[in-house]
Amino acid sequence: MAQSVSKRVHKRAVQRNRIKRQIRTAFRLRREHMPALDMLIIARTTAAAVDNHVLAADLAALLQRLAALKLQHAPGTMPG
């Protein structure tokens, strides 16, 4: 899992780090239910305006939808 919170989201590093902590926590709590895949979470500018509870709830809903996906292998790739 990778995350990106650019300076466009918020100019202060404290706020960007808060968003990164929320992303890591949400992922850590749901890791065992997640399929094995690479993912990149990119924060939007609206993430800086909401409080931690709203951000955590949005991330939980996003990761719950992702965990429900049934992954299929692309043609020409080896299952593994």
User: Which domains does the chain show, CATH number per domain?
Assistant: 2-67 (3.30.230.10)
Structure tokens at 25: 């926590």
Phi, psi (deg, nearest 5) at residue 42: -110, 120
SS3 4: strand
Mean pLDDT, residues 46-65 taken together: 91
What is the reported pTM? 0.78
Average pLDDT score, the chain: 87
- pLDDT reported for residue 77: 62
Q: Which residues contact 47 (CB under 8 A, 6 or more apart)?
A: 5, 9, 19, 55
